[in-house]
């Protein structure tokens, strides 16, 4: 059974789950600050083992981002990612200001677009929205 724990994601678990999907290595200070600046985190556990996570970053009123949505490769395609993203989306809906609209954005790994489309995310570019862009600063 999968249990979601909110706002208890620790540095070691965060780094371990990122490493499980071969994401860019972060320093401990980077991880610590990233977690401290998160608006909300969710960690999925199967028994005592962390098997997935996700977090929300942003300003909480105009724009939020789903960041670091990870499910261990050996636990993918078992509904864990669905549970995590549904909770992240619910958090944004619960905390947005009344009678306003908030943008919820993400950048997904190549090949994962169909997963996010199930949750009403749209790929860019569209007729009215340009492509998402990124810059890495060393």
Average of pLDDT values for 101-121? 92
- Under the banding of pLDDT at 50, 70 and 90, the label for residue 83 is very high
Tens of pLDDT along 16-33? Answer: 999 999 999 999 999 999
How do the domains of the chain map onto residue ranges? Answer: 2-117
**CA-to-CA separations, 110 to 29, 42, 107, 123, in angstroms, rounded:** 28, 23, 9, 12
36-61 pLDDT per residue, tens: 999 999 999 999 999 999 999 999 99
Choose which CATH entry (3.50.50.60, 2.160.20.60, 3.30.1490.110, 3.40.630.30) describes domain 2-117: 3.40.630.30
pTM for the whole structure: 0.94
Tokens representing residue 86 in the block: 């549904």
């Amino acid at each position: 059974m999968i249990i979601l724990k909110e706002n208890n994601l620790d540095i070691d678990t965060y780094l371990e789950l990122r490493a499980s999907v071969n994401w860019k290595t972060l320093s401990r200070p980077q991880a610590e600050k990233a977690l401290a600046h998160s608006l909300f985190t969710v960690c999925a556990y199967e028994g005592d083992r962390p098997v997935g996570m996700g977090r929300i970053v942003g300003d909480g009123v105009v724009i939020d981002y789903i960041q670091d949505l990870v499910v261990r490769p050996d636990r993918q395609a078992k509904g864990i990612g669905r549970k995590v993203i549904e909770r992240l989306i619910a958090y944004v809906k619960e905390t947005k200001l009344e009678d306003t609209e908030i943008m919820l954005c993400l950048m997904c790994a190549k090949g994962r677009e169909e997963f996010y489309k199930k949750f009403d995310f749209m790929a860019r570019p569209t007729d009215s929205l340009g492509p998402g862009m990124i810059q890495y600063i060393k």
